[in-house]
Structure 1
């Protein structure tokens, strides 16, 4: 407990100082005021209870380290309390709908973390940072624990979506190139967030994947309808867009014939698969898609405007993602 307090106190002091100076602009939110009592207990990754998924038996020669997207959007908590059953279930749903593209070929490791509430998207950047750092610290602790105690030298995939990708990118910008095991990463699938030219300049060790079998590189895209790039909250200016139909970062149009199949997860537990669901083209920092059955993607919940297909970044290209992971895993085994 003393060690936990020593880790938390500096962070709490900063947050409290911000509160006292009025820097945190939380007053307009429906959530309660943020203070030290708003911070849930930090996960202890030596305990199984702090893991959403921790492979109990090793069935594959490679791993996937999954960081789930934003699942906290209630009106009570600024930060996710991973001990709450409803938060655990919501986190597990992301494995079914997203991380499942990797599960036939990789052992799954997925930590819980104190992510920030979706309402934080409406806050000024400085206030978001005051909340975000809890999750960033948690994932860094989890990834460090995973590499030191669970990975056992296997190649691994880094994967996330939305806030999960944002947290992973922040950590890679700070640490990638100095870890000593960069050559063990097959690829980083950072979907639902943007990797920009500025990011690559800030850390030249980060490389974007430029073809379907390249390894030790990163992938990023955000799906939108034509002309909706500027209203998508996850699209950053000057983003580099990976086209999941060609696995290049150019702006060439890729026809729907290359789409191996979309997969949508219905409320009743069934799934719907649609072959050749959409074309894709990188344009103005977003991935522009033209679904043949738009009714499947026109139900994005708030805060995503019409034409922002954020929650379907995995679904629209489900089979292409699955095939590509297999291809990169094979390339890693061949040393290519």
Structure 2
């Protein structure tokens, strides 16, 4: 990998974990159109009817499998972290610069982890600015998140109406995506007939209480169905003091897919995918559940000595990329087997 690009990648990890975010400074004012037309493929970052970065396979020129029996509805994390004056709380859906950043980051490096399990649908949505999580203007932040969720909900309803046709579904999300993924599952799956189509929900990067849903429970093994999976990654030995912790928070170990707090060696890690998408790095990251978070020792890779942060949130999916890919497909296979 180009050493300069690697340095930039490590700097971004450190900055996203520790630097202040600069965003909207005025109160929320919704000047955006009422809704997004999800019949327009341009409003999807990933969609089976077009070629996009969710189709990519690390270190390979091969295309993902065709005629997959399941679908993946992926809700991407916050990419809107712009700095500047007079920023909107939610960006335009047609912001080409932001959309390009989405496509070349989260869609390429996260959504693609699920392309062996099903057709990937990832809507563009008017995500709330990153500062929405930390601002003192809670009323504006709440409205910004509500607008973002309305887009996610609209996209999912469009997907159900025109594409699902009774197919099994994986819900996958990271960070702000999980902020919206939890309510989406509550509204559409929890205790409804659609719950039987839920293969599993990978709600990653945001604390999810074990009892958040009424009738959907945590997955307890690698083949559990109609259940939820979640984790947030921090350096081993570190307990965050600025977010919920404790045994009431769901943490799944992505190296053995259980809720067991036993340490799992990096030997069981099938491969991380970091800044160089063409390079799969097996046996680099371990995992252990502790007090509501997932602990991982600092991985070794070129220039990893620059990685000083104790918050590995940005790599929640990347550290365990190949294990996620294999597990998502395994659960779909189990779902299909159970219904045949």
| Length-normalised TM-score, structure 2 | 0.80
Aligned to 1:326: 329
Aligned to 1:14: none
**Matched position secondary structure for 2:328:** helix
**CA deviation profile, 1:236-293 (whole Å, cap 9, x unmatched):** 5531100001100121111111111111123xxx533221112110101110001341
Q: Confirm or deny: 8 A CA contact 2:210 2:218 kept in the other structure.
A: no
Spell out the pairing of 1:37-116 with structure 2 (5 A cutoff). Answer: 38-39=31-32, 42-56=35-49, 59-75=67-83, 76-93=87-104, 94-116=106-128
Aligned to 1:230: 240
Change (3 A) 1:126 1:214: same
Aligned-pair distance for 1:126? 4.5
Mapped to 2, the partners of 1:149 and 1:296 lie a distance apart of: 47
Which 5+ residue runs of structure 1 have no aligned equivalent?
1-27
Mapped to 1, the partners of 2:304 and 2:36 lie a distance apart of: 35
Which 5+ residue runs of structure 2 have no aligned equivalent?
1-20, 51-65
Aligned to 1:36: 29
Change (3 A) 1:227 1:40: farther
| Counterpart check, 1:152 vs 2:152 | no
Aligned to 1:11: none
**What value does the CA root-mean-square deviation take over the aligned residues?**
2.4
Aligned to 2:226: 216
Mapped to 2, the partners of 1:161 and 1:292 lie a distance apart of: 21
Corresponding residue to 1:122 among 124, 128, 134: 134
Aligned-pair distance for 1:298? 7.1
Aligned to 2:272: 262
**Matched position secondary structure for 2:67:** coil
Mapped to 2, the partners of 1:212 and 1:29 lie a distance apart of: 40
The alignment covers a number of residue pairs equal to: 298
**CA deviation profile, 1:89-128 (whole Å, cap 9, x unmatched):** 1221211101111113411111111110001121245543
Change (3 A) 1:324 1:71: same
Aligned to 2:257: 247
Q: Confirm or deny: 8 A CA contact 2:22 2:81 kept in the other structure.
A: no
Aligned to 1:282: 289
**CA deviation profile, 1:146-191 (whole Å, cap 9, x unmatched):** 1111112211111011000111112223443344211111111111
Change (3 A) 1:38 1:29: farther
**Matched position secondary structure for 2:35:** coil
Aligned to 1:184: 197
| Counterpart check, 1:308 vs 2:320 | no
Mapped to 1, the partners of 2:261 and 2:304 lie a distance apart of: 23
Q: Which has the higher contact order (CA 8 A, sep 6+)?
A: 2
Q: Confirm or deny: 8 A CA contact 2:225 2:335 kept in the other structure.
A: yes
**Matched position secondary structure for 1:66:** strand
| Length-normalised TM-score, structure 1 | 0.81
Q: Confirm or deny: 8 A CA contact 2:235 2:296 kept in the other structure.
A: yes
